[in-house]
């Protein structure tokens, strides 16, 4: 029985796994969050979400891990090359495809490199999606062309080019679209139309295009010559998610699986990740708060069987998402160790104010309050030295803050502070939740957490890597996995693992807290969610970290 690699990456801290198609013999290949997983022969290529979206390869037995390049997305492979999109890098534009420096945020430049990552070249620009085709010979993998779509003149333009990007030709224009794939001599594409959505089919043999209506669809795949779509919608007071099977010749459709739940539970029930293998059609579905999302496989009787067996595939412990207080900030829920005041001497305190305008219409306050420890902590002198230095650094910002006040007009009241609001006293370590904050115009006040952890005996600041005995990439994989499991358990669909993993992407190894229950990892406002959602703090249990 063949193995599948990586599609079950939810298991054991969301690491890259392989297992047989019946779910047996799971084996961890790499302790990393993997996206865009591609398997060919005895090698797995993937994007390492916990290492800056670097592109890696590894043997299917877990040996020979190799980094090919620092970043990429939308990874695919051919017989000889690795294809991916990224931002523009002029040194790889050997053909001069780009004449004006693009925005640093544009990542629709298509590159290819050899399987060792040594020879990289830019082959196309403005590529929104692409597919590598194997041509007419189904026994040869990816020796044909590259099919891609670009957004031009309010249309999705589908074009075809050689594997090196040469000889590009436009094939068709299909309007606004979602996704497409190439299958047995035709391009299949879900796109919007006046009546809703359609699946368009463009024949690569004769250039003819036809289409047929489908329910509102988010994903689709082809299995056993039939199209499967993941559809959603409301029916009365029920929210419906269903899988439809469509004949790719005449467009006739039938529902093969349905899941319904009350509309008020929509955030806690979801289906996603529809795809096909040689063994059938698979998808993920929310099961319960305790189990989170699990993998299912469609059955022949228009049902689904749960594929995932927790007894065979080890899972990770979910973190605890701190509930926010009225301020919608972690500041309002941090509770110091009982009796921590006995370890402190007088705080470092500094305050200055500044008025602006003839009538003093503008006013600003600048405050600093940082802790000093006493001799009950063996390393107190070193810790105090750290905060005295932090106090001096904060004072150097005062001039710039008051200069902002001088440049403003009208009535306003600004302030800025450096302070602390949480002290953890453990048996080996001490954490102080130092933060900066204030108001300088706009809708909300701002707060930046800058927690620091010290060794009780030496007073030296301790990094997350030193604390856990692992690299920051390994720490990111372990800690953000528990956070993902927490959000998945709560049915938060915005954080389901996809090619883009915001929790790993925005992970900052310097922003961690120690709690009696575990390690807290912190995300600032706007880092992983909208501003109204506030900041996030996840507490990962000690037993998850083997600490």
Q: Output phi, psi for 350, to 5 deg.
A: -145, 140
Residue 72 CA: distances (Å) to CA of 9, 37, 85, 118, 397: 19, 13, 6, 15, 37
Q: Residue 244: which H helix or E strand, with range?
A: strand 238-247
Q: Are 475 and 452 in contact (CB under 8 A)?
A: no
What residues have CB less than 8 Å from 65, skipping those under 6 apart?
30, 56, 57, 58
> Computed from CA positions of residues 259, 263, 264, 269, in that sequence, does the dihedral angle turn out positive or negative?
positive
Residue 20 CA: distances (Å) to CA of 86, 303, 305: 33, 22, 16
Q: Which of 487, 501, 481, 478 shows the shortest CA–CA distance to 292?
A: 487
Walk along the chain (547 residues) and give the pLDDT tens digit of each residue.
Answer: 344 444 344 445 578 888 877 777 788 899 888 888 888 888 999 999 989 899 999 999 999 999 999 999 999 988 889 999 999 999 999 999 998 888 888 899 999 999 899 999 999 999 988 888 654 433 334 457 888 888 877 777 888 899 999 999 988 877 666 577 778 778 887 776 666 678 888 887 888 888 888 777 778 888 888 889 888 777 777 888 889 998 877 888 899 998 887 766 655 567 778 888 878 899 888 777 777 778 889 998 888 988 876 666 666 777 887 766 555 577 777 889 999 999 999 999 999 988 876 666 778 899 999 999 999 999 999 999 999 999 999 998 888 888 877 776 556 778 899 999 899 999 999 999 999 988 877 777 888 899 999 999 999 999 999 999 989 888 998 899 888 888 877 766 666 656 678 888 899 999 999 999 999 999 988 888 877 777 889 999 988 886 5
Q: Which of 58, 3, 8 shows the shortest CA–CA distance to 25?
A: 3
183 three-class SS: strand
Rounded to whole angstroms, how far apart are CA atoms 246 and 423? 60
Q: Are 464 and 471 in contact (CB under 8 A)?
A: no
Q: Which of 213, 215, 208, 302 shows the shortest CA–CA distance to 250?
A: 213
Q: Are 429 and 453 in contact (CB under 8 A)?
A: yes
pLDDT given at position 54: 94
Rounded to whole angstroms, how far apart are CA atoms 40 and 468? 35
Q: Are 257 and 230 in contact (CB under 8 A)?
A: no
Q: Output phi, psi for 491, to 5 deg.
A: 75, 25
> What are the residue ranges spanned by the domains of the chain?
321-545
User: With 0-12 CB in 10 A as exposed, 13-18 as middle and 19+ as buried, what is 45?
Assistant: buried
Angle, helices 380-396/398-407, rounded to nearest 10 degrees? 30
CA dihedral 109, 115, 118, 124 (to 10 degrees): -20
What residues have CB less than 8 Å from 210, skipping those under 6 apart?
200, 201
Rounded to whole angstroms, how far apart are CA atoms 68 and 51? 12
Rounded to whole angstroms, how far apart are CA atoms 218 and 235? 18
> Which of these CATH numbers, 1.10.8.80, 3.30.390.50, 3.40.50.300, 3.30.565.40, describes 321-545?
3.30.565.40
Residues 26-43 as b or e (16 or more Cβ within 10 Å = b) = beebbbbbbbbbbbeeeb
Rounded to whole angstroms, how far apart are CA atoms 74 and 134? 18
User: Can you spell out the DSSP letters for 354-380?
Assistant: EEESTT--EEEEEEEEE--B-TTSTTH
Q: Output phi, psi for 528, to 5 deg.
A: -125, 0
Q: Which of 364, 365, 382, 360 shows the shortest CA–CA distance to 373?
A: 382
What residues have CB less than 8 Å from 267, skipping those under 6 apart?
491, 492, 493
531 three-class SS: helix
Rounded to whole angstroms, how far apart are CA atoms 531 and 354? 30
Q: Are 434 and 452 in contact (CB under 8 A)?
A: yes
* Radius of gyration, CA atoms only, the chain: 27
Q: Are 21 and 279 in contact (CB under 8 A)?
A: yes
Q: Which of 48, 41, 47 shows the shortest CA–CA distance to 78?
A: 41
Rounded to whole angstroms, how far apart are CA atoms 129 and 156? 10
Q: Residue 281: which H helix or E strand, with range?
A: strand 280-288
Rounded to whole angstroms, how far apart are CA atoms 117 and 270? 38
Q: Output phi, psi for 61, to 5 deg.
A: -100, 5
């Amino acid at each position: 029985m063949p193995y599948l690699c990586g599609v079950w990456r939810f298991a054991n801290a969301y690491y890259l796994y392989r297992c047989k198609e019946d779910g047996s013999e799971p084996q961890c290949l790499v302790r990393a969050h993997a996206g865009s997983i591609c398997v060919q022969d005895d090698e797995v290529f993937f994007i390492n979400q916990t290492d800056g979206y670097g592109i890696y390869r590894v043997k299917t037995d877990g040996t020979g891990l190799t980094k090919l390049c620092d970043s990429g997305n939308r990874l695919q492979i051919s017989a000889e090359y690795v294809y991916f999109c990224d931002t523009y890098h002029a040194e790889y534009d050997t053909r001069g495809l780009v004449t004006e420096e693009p925005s640093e945020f544009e990542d629709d430049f298509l590159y290819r490199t050899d399987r060792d990552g040594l020879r990289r070249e830019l082959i196309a620009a403005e590529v929104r999606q692409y597919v590598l085709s194997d041509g007419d010979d189904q026994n040869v993998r990816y020796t044909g062309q590259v099919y891609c779509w670009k957004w031009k003149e309010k249309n999705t333009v589908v074009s075809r080019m050689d594997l090196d990007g040469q000889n590009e030709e436009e094939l068709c224009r299909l309007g606004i679209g979602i996704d497409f794939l190439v299958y047995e001599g035709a391009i299949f594409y879900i796109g919007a139309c006046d009546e809703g959505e359609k699946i368009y089919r463009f024949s690569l043999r004769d250039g003819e295009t036809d289409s047929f209506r489908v329910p509102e669809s988010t994903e689709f795949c082809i299995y056993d010559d039939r199209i499967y779509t993941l559809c959603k919608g409301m029916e009365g007071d029920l929210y419906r998610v269903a899988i439809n099977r469509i004949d790719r010749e005449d467009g006739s459709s039938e529902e093969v699986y349905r899941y319904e739940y009350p509309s008020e539970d929509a955030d806690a029930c979801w289906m996603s990740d529809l795809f096909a293998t040689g063994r059938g059609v698979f998808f993920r579905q929310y099961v319960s708060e305790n189990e989170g999302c699990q993998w299912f496989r469609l059955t022949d009787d228009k049902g689904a069987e749960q594929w995932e067996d927790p007894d065979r595939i080890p899972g990770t412990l979910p973190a605890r998402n701190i509930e926010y207080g009225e301020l919608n900030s972690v500041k309002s829920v941090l509770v110091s160790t009982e009796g921590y005041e006995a370890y402190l001497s007088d705080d470092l305190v500094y305050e200055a104010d500044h008025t602006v305008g003839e009538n003093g219409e503008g006013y600003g306050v600048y405050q600093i309050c940082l802790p000093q420890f006493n001799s009950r902590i063996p390393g107190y002198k070193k810790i105090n030295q750290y905060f005295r230095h932090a106090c001096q650094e904060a004072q150097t910002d005062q001039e710039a803050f008051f200069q902002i006040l001088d440049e403003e007009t009208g009535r306003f009241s600004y302030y800025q502070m450096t302070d602390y609001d949480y002290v953890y006293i453990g048996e080996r370590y001490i954490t102080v939740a130092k933060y900066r904050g204030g108001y300088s115009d706009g809708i909300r006040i701002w707060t930046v957490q800058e927690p620091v952890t010290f060794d009780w005996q030496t007073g030296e600041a301790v990094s997350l890597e030193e604390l856990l005995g692992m690299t920051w990439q390994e720490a990111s994989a372990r800690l953000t996995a528990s956070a993902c499991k927490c959000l998945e358990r709560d049915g938060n669909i915005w954080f389901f693992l996809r090619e883009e993993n915001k929790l790993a992407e925005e992970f900052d190894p310097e922003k961690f807290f120690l709690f009696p229950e575990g390690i807290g990892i912190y995300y600032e406002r706007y880092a992983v969610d909208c501003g109204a959602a506030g900041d996030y703090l996840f507490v990962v249990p000690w037993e998850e970290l083997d600490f």
